[in-house]
Amino acid sequence: MSPMLASAGLNQLQQLQYLLVRPPVVVRTVSRRPSLRVSPRAAAPVFDVELGDGAVQPASSELLVSAPIQKPVVSTGRQKVRDQKKRELQAAANGPIIMVPKPLPSVLIIHTGGTLGMDPIASYEPDVDGKERLKGGGTFKGTLGPGDMLNNLLNVVPELNEFANLHLKVAYNKDSSRVGPKEWVELAKLLHNNRKHYDAFLVVHGTDTMAYTASALSLMLLGFRKPIVMTGSQLPLAKPRSDARQNLIDAITCATAYFNPPHVQLQEVAVCFGGQLMRGNRAQKVNASNYQAFDSPTYHKLALLGVEVDWQARYLLQVEGGYRPRFGLDPAVIRLPIVPGSDPRTAYGDLVARGVKGVILEAFGVGNMPDLPQQGWLPWLKSQRKKGLQVYLSSQCTEGTLNPELYRSGQVALSMGVEAGPRMTPECAVVKMMQCLRYPAIPLGVPLAGEM
């Protein structure tokens, strides 16, 4: 209190009015008579004051006052009892403000192997220049347990705990070159069995066949309606310059995007790698050594991750219909490029006789191929189609549309029953052919999960 005020003997109301003509202060209305007790809870002084009309503000509310208040009203004993009861009811209605932390989403991390989980010491050896090189395809711990793997992840990337409540399962621990239809089905069933128990899924996978696995999951788990984000790395997690750390943080950022502003709802299988989020069945590995190892040449990026996350929400998959899982795949499918000067009757022979049921034929440009009889391609196609071989015409170009009808060879191929387009990546076309062979009612040329 000002010494000058004290010596002047001003009463409490005058003191209060003096203080209120100073720069605006925060006033909290409570149930006691005028008081000059100063609370340190705000930058400006806070005073406990009862308004003269008996009105009571919530205990947590704050009022900015810059004008004189009304004179206090003298209450009788009966009035005081009524005021007290009113204040008690008001206080009970307002109650204390309790800060409750927002619950984190639940995320299942599924480890399948790949470079991210390699032993950083046993997997590398020095070359003649003293630089490290991968030794024998890398070393994988065959008995890797979920607890060990999760501890490793959280020790190196503790920030993951800030995004979600994490659980981890090890589906298998393999170099992705050893992953195929059997492992795709195993992984799809693991996701299916845990679909109701988690809000989102993060799949750690090797880079070499990630595009195949992502395509398989998108087609087998049609209408899954929850984020399945796949990622990996070009260097093991424990390496000093590994890209694994950033890829994991980016992947879980995208997987849990619905639970944080701007609440983007990702409902598809996606690949998150090198600061980019891509539709899984449109992604392709395009670089063997760069940290931006994947691209999506036939579709827009779903998000770009830099200082901010730049979501391209209009390109996200809009899921229609219910959940329709299908776990059947027929692996008797191969990719065949058309090579100038080669005769397929000699180079490939009778594929049907060797058990091949489907071929992704990679033609030139928009779907062109050699059309002279002596070059062999059209006669070979005719004979294989008569034996029941399913053929999807793709392109050796990474971008552009398919229009095989523009050329004579394409027209003849289409007349034989060869399917061409809409355009799919070769990786996705292989997987969809496997599915269509197992489920003949599914048309190869009709989009199911945004793959074409």
Report CA 199 to chain centroid distance, whole Å: 11
Summarised one tens digit per residue, pLDDT across range 322-342 is 999 999 999 999 999 999 999
Provide the pLDDT confidence category of residue 148 given band limits of 50, 70 and 90: confident
Distance CA 412, CA 367 (A): 11
Summarised one tens digit per residue, pLDDT across range 207-247 is 999 999 999 999 999 999 999 999 999 998 888 899 999 99
The predicted model gives 369-380 an average pLDDT of 93
pLDDT score of 331: 97
Are 229 and 276 a contacting pair, CB within 8 Å?
no
Mean pLDDT of the chain: 82
Q: Is the pLDDT of residue 44 over 90?
A: no
Q: Higher confidence at residue 452 or residue 140?
A: 452
pTM of the predicted structure, to 2 decimals: 0.75
Provide the pLDDT confidence category of residue 365 given band limits of 50, 70 and 90: very high
Report CA 264 to chain centroid distance, whole Å: 10
Question: Which region holds residue 5: left if phi is over 0, alpha if psi is between -120 and 50, else beta?
Answer: alpha
Residues 6 or more apart in contact with residue 248 via CB below 8 angstroms = 153, 157, 160, 202, 204, 231
Q: Is the pLDDT of residue 16 over 50?
A: no
The helix or strand, by DSSP H or E, that contains position 427, with its residue range, turns out to be: helix 426-438
Report CA 3 to chain centroid distance, whole Å: 65
DSSP readout, 319-356? --S--EE-------EEEEE--TT--HHHHT--TGGGT-
Provide the pLDDT confidence category of residue 249 given band limits of 50, 70 and 90: very high
Nearest to 220 by CA among 175, 181, 168, 267: 181
pLDDT score of 63: 39
Which residue in the block uniquely carries the two structure tokens 């399945």? 228
Beta bridge partners of 337: 362
Residues 6 or more apart in contact with residue 142 via CB below 8 angstroms = 173
pLDDT score of 76: 61
The helix or strand, by DSSP H or E, that contains position 203, with its residue range, turns out to be: strand 200-204
- Name the range with the highest mean pLDDT among 36-45, 98-107, 117-126, 245-254: 245-254
Are 388 and 416 a contacting pair, CB within 8 Å?
no
If DSSP codes are grouped into helix, strand and coil, which group holds residue 158? Answer: helix
Q: Is the pLDDT of residue 151 over 70?
A: yes
Summarised one tens digit per residue, pLDDT across range 163-196 is 999 999 999 999 999 999 999 999 999 999 999 9
Summarised one tens digit per residue, pLDDT across range 347-361 is 999 999 999 999 999
Distance CA 214, CA 232 (A): 12
DSSP 8-class letter at 9: T
H runs (alpha helix) in 332-425: 344-347, 377-386, 408-415
- Name the range with the highest mean pLDDT among 92-101, 320-329, 398-407, 417-426: 320-329
pLDDT score of 388: 96
Are 376 and 369 a contacting pair, CB within 8 Å?
no
pLDDT score of 152: 82
Longest distance between any two alpha carbons in the chain, whole Å: 119
Q: What are the distances in angstroms from CA 340 to CA 199, 265, 391?
A: 50, 47, 19
Nearest to 234 by CA among 195, 176, 182, 280: 176
Q: Which is it for strands 276-279 and 284-285: parallel, antiparallel or unpaired?
A: unpaired
Report CA 61 to chain centroid distance, whole Å: 40
Are 219 and 210 a contacting pair, CB within 8 Å?
no
Summarised one tens digit per residue, pLDDT across range 259-311 is 999 999 999 999 999 999 999 999 999 999 999 999 999 999 999 999 999 99
Give the CB-side neighbour count of residue 442, counting CA atoms within 13 A.
20
The pair phi, psi for residue 50, each rounded to 5°, is -100, 125
Rg (CA), the chain: 34
Q: pLDDT over 70 for what percent of the chain?
A: 74
The four Cα atoms 317, 322, 323, 324 give a dihedral, to 10 degrees, of -100
